[in-house]
C-alpha cells in the first residue's frame, strides 16, 4: 500500500480533477489520504460526493480551520501506515504509472530517500522541463490530450533515467517515511506554504541520503491552485518569512546560489 497525501483548501474542482486522474493512473495499491484544511461546507460536500464514486480507498480527515500546508501534511501522515508516502498537490494531474515509477526509485536504491517527477511548471525549479510547457489557456479535453502526449514523450525519451538534484518541490514527492520521521517532518517555523519542502530536502541530504528526479515520470502542475485563495499581500508576507527561515538554516550550502538563480527564473515566469 502506498499512501498519497493530498491536502486541500476549497478548490473542489481542481481536487476532483486530481482524484479522477489518480484513479486513471492505474498504479498498484494506492490509498488517498485527503486532508480538508478548513474548506467551506459546499466544497467539502462536493469532495465527499466525488470520493463516493472512486474505485480506490480514500480516507478524509478535516481541520476545523485553515492551518496551512505543513500542518495538513502532518495530519495526513498520521492516517498513513505504509513505508512509502507520496505528497501530492490538489492542482496536479498525475499520469499513468507515476506512483509506481517513483516508489521504484526508492525501492531500488537505499541511498535515495526522496524522488519526484518532471514538471511543466517553472516553480518546481529543478524538476521543470521546458519541453513540457503547455500553451496558456489549455483546458478540457485538449489539456488531457496534451498531458498524455507529453507523458508518452517523457517515457520514450528518458526510460528509467534518474537525475540527481539538491532540491525537490512537494507538488509530487515520494518519500521513505523512515527518513521523514528522522528529520522531524517539516520545520516548526514555516507558515502555510513555500520553502518547507526545500528545507526538508536539505535535512535529508544532511543525513547523507540523496534525492532523485525520475525523468520518464511526468506530473502536470497547474500551480498555486490553493495558495491563491489568500490575498496577494498575505502570500508575499508568507513567502518572505519562510525564505528568511530557509536562508538562516540552509543559506550556507554551496548550491544555494544556484537555487537563487532558479527561483529568479521561476519568479519571472510565474509571478506571485
Give 77-93 pLDDT, tens digit per residue: 988 988 999 999 999 99
Cell numbers linked to 56 = 480506490
Predicted confidence at residue 224, as pLDDT, reads 66
Asked whether 97 and 27 are in contact (CB, 8 A), the reply is yes
Q: Which residues of the chain have pLDDT under 50?
A: none
Q: How far apart are CA 147 and CA 21, in angstroms?
A: 11
Cβ neighbours of residue 15 closer than 8 Å, sequence gap 6 or more: 6, 8, 34, 47, 50, 90
Cβ neighbours of residue 254 closer than 8 Å, sequence gap 6 or more: none
Predicted confidence at residue 214, as pLDDT, reads 98
Q: How far apart are CA 147 and CA 134, in angstroms?
A: 9
Q: Which of 154, 149, 209 lies closest to 182, judged by CA? A: 209
Cell numbers linked to 163 = 537525475
Predicted confidence at residue 207, as pLDDT, reads 96
Predicted confidence at residue 270, as pLDDT, reads 66
Amino acid at each position: 500500500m502506498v499512501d498519497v497525501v493530498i491536502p486541500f483548501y476549497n478548490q473542489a474542482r481542481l481536487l476532483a480533477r486530481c482524484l479522477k486522474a489518480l484513479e486513471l493512473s492505474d498504479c498498484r495499491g494506492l490509498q488517498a489520504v485527503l486532508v480538508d484544511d478548513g474548506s467551506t461546507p459546499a466544497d467539502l460536500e462536493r469532495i465527499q460526493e466525488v470520493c463516493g464514486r472512486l474505485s480506490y480507498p480514500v480516507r478524509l480527515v478535516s481541520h476545523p480551520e485553515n492551518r496551512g500546508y505543513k500542518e495538513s501534511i502532518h495530519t495526513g501522515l498520521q492516517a498513513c501506515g505504509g513505508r512509502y508516502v507520496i505528497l501530492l498537490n490538489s492542482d496536479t494531474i498525475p499520469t499513468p504509472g507515476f506512483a509506481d515509477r517513483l516508489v521504484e526509485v526508492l525501492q531500488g536504491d537505499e541511498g535515495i530517500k526522496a524522488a519526484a517527477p518532471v514538471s511543466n511548471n517553472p516553480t518546481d525549479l529543478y524538476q521543470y522541463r521546458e519541453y513540457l510547457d503547455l500553451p496558456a489557456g489549455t483546458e478540457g479535453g485538449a489539456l488531457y490530450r496534451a498531458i498524455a502526449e507529453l507523458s508518452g514523450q517523457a517515457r520514450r525519451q528518458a526510460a528509467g533515467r534518474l537525475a540527481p538534484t539538491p532540491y525537490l518541490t512537494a507538488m509530487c514527492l515520494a518519500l521513505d517515511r523512515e527518513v521523514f520521521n528522522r528529520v522531524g517532518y517539516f520545520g516548526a517555523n514555516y507558515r502555510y506554504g513555500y520553502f518547507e519542502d526545500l528545507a526538508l530536502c536539505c535535512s535529508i541530504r544532511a543525513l547523507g541520503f540523496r534525492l532523485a528526479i525520475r525523468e520518464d515520470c511526468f506530473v502536470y502542475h497547474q500551480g498555486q491552485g490553493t495558495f491563491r485563495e489568500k490575498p496577494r499581500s498575505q502570500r508575499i508576507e508568507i513567502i518572505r518569512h519562510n525564505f528568511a527561515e530557509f536562508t538562516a538554516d540552509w543559506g550556507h550550502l554551496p548550491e544555494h546560489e544556484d537555487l537563487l538563480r532558479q527561483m529568479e527564473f521561476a519568479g519571472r515566469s510565474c509571478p506571485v
